[in-house]
């Protein structure tokens, strides 16, 4: 061997070590296959093509809507066209049906001056049936304040919840979780004290003019009242005006709550060759709110799952365990699809060794968070963290704490529940708004997420969790 050949061999080995610095002899096959997954997904992935269709061609996919039904048919066809898939089916589920209506108006007035605010009805809210509802605005920053104010102060008023997300939280998901209670429960708590309506600061760190919708829920026995979100800029403006004097708000909207309707999850399966009774699920939720195209929430999660199957097909991979791709319906306002899937699975006596959900957008992957039944969680997590050897070179972590709403009902099967965790710094800039469109998705970041999930599926399939 010439000196030049030795030098080339040394450089090649150094490159491999740089890619997988902890890989040792005997593990090269897994490391190299994961590199093939990344190379193929980043250069030939189709997840962005599918997402563009879901977000731009179909659009917002409100549960029970025609768009949601179209998305079911579309993803069913995509999965049918993958030769590796053994079967594809539409799994029935009953879902609530809420229609936004064509009127959403909020304005405030003081001393004869009127200002229009940018507002959006919250999911499952009742409306004013197009009539004008007016009342004095009372600003609060948490739900418990209403208990102190009581009916005397709140009767016939419009309660304005103005608690912002905490910008000091490193995880915007944690900040969201701490602030979203006022959106979900605000109307019920205000109604308890005979308020007329609720206005809620949009749940985002971004200061802008976009109202963020999202689900709200009426407690049993409570008289429903209208509930709408206003943009953060308008929330700041309204708060400032309230410091200067009394403000009256005027609300007009006309959403409708209709009877529940039949919808479907889309499920595809690749039968395992060695352990067919151990299922590895990959999924996202197909429904979205209607203001935008549902690109990050959760079109990205759906096409991540589709890309896993397409990549394994393209690389000629035959799984040892049964792989399931699930497009869940109705995550946003009821979990009808997740509950129906778990019910059918439990009735068949199935076992999901692992369920992976992507529902945090199409941003740069950071890793995976895991949860599970206390009886099995620790040994499963310990086994999973052995995969750090293969995933750390791609800057991916594996840690406790995570999962997903749609896969949560599978916890009783005592498998591992895994949530894909991309960088969430920008997620709530788009979440539940008209800006959640394909044009605000970075294609490389989207494909990186699909590659990360495919790599984890491959490792669990190859090595199991026991």
**Residue 42: which region, alpha, beta or left (left: phi > 0; alpha: psi -120 to 50)?**
alpha
Our CA dihedral for 64, 67, 70, 76, rounded to 10 degrees, sits at -70
Structure tokens, 115:
């200002």
Q: How far is CA 30 from the centre of its chain?
A: 30
Contact residues for 463 (Cβ-Cβ < 8 A; gap 6+):
383, 386, 387
| Rounded CA Rg of the chain | 24
Contact residues for 18 (Cβ-Cβ < 8 A; gap 6+):
none
Residue 337 bridge partners (DSSP): none
DSSP annotation string for 36-67? HHHHHHHHH--HHHHHHIIIIII----TTSHH
Residues 316, 77: contact at Cβ < 8 Å? Answer: no
Other beta carbons within 10 angstroms of residue 441's beta carbon come to 24
Indicate the pairing of strand 275-285 with strand 321-328.
Answer: parallel
105 belongs to the catalytic site: no
Q: Which of 338, 344, 339, 334 is nearest to 326 (CA)?
A: 338
Question: Is the bond into 319 cis (omega within 30 degrees of 0)?
Answer: no
> Of 30, 139, 278, 331, which is the active-site residue?
331
DSSP annotation string for 85-96? --EEEEEEEEEE
- List the helix and strand counts (H, then E) for the chain: 14, 16
Catalogue the active-site residues.
Answer: 331
């Amino acid at each position: 061997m010439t000196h030049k050949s030795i030098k080339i061999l040394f450089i090649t080995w150094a490159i491999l070590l740089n890619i997988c610095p902890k890989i040792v002899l005997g593990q090269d096959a897994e490391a190299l296959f994961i590199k093939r997954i990344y190379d193929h997904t980043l250069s030939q992935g189709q997840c962005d093509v599918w997402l563009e269709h879901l977000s731009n061609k179909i659009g917002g996919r409100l549960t029970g809507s025609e768009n949601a039904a179209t998305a079911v048919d579309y993803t069913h066809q995509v999965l049918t066209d993958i030769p590796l898939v053994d079967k594809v089916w539409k799994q029935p589920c009953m879902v609530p049906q809420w229609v936004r209506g064509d009127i959403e108006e909020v304005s405030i007035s003081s001393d004869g001056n009127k200002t229009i605010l940018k507002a959006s009805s919250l999911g499952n809210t009742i409306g004013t049936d197009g009539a004008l509802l007016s009342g004095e605005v009372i600003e609060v920053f948490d739900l418990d304040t209403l208990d102190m104010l009581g009916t005397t102060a709140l009767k016939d008023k419009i309660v304005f919840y103005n608690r912002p997300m905490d910008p000091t939280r490193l995880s915007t998901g944690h900040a969201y979780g701490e602030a979203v209670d006022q959106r979900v429960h605000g109307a019920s708590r205000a109604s308890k004290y005979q308020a007329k309506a609720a206005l809620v600061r949009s749940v985002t760190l971004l200061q802008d003019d976009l109202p963020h919708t999202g689900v709200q829920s009426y407690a049993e026995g409570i008289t429903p009242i209208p509930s709408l979100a206003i943009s953060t800029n308008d929330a700041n403006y309204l708060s400032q005006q309230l410091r200067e004097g009394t403000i009256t708000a005027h609300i007009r909207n006309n959403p409708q709550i209709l009877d529940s309707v039949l919808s479907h999850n889309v499920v595809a399966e690749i039968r395992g060759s060695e352990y067919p009774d151990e299922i590895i699920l990959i999924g996202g939720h197909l429904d979205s709110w209607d203001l935008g195209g549902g690109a990050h929430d959760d079109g990205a999660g759906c096409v991540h799952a589709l890309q896993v199957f397409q990549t394994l097909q393209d690389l000629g991979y035959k799984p040892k365990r049964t792989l399931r791709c699930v497009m869940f319906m109705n995550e946003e306002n009821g979990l009808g699809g997740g509950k129906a899937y778990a019910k059918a699975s439990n009735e068949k006596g199935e076992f999901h060794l692992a369920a992976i959900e992507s529902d945090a957008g199409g941003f740069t992957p950071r890793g995976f968070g895991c949860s599970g039944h206390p009886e099995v969680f620790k040994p499963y997590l310990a086994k999973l963290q052995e995969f750090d050897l293969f995933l750390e070179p791609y800057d991916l972590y594996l840690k406790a704490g995570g999962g997903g709403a749609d896969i949560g009902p599978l916890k009783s099967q005592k498998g591992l529940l895994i949530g894909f965790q991309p960088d969430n710094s920008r997620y709530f800039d788009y979440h539940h708004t008209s800006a959640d469109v394909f044009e605000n998705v970075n294609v490389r970041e989207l494909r990186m997420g699909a590659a990360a999930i495919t790599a984890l599926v491959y490792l669990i399939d190859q090595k199991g969790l026991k």
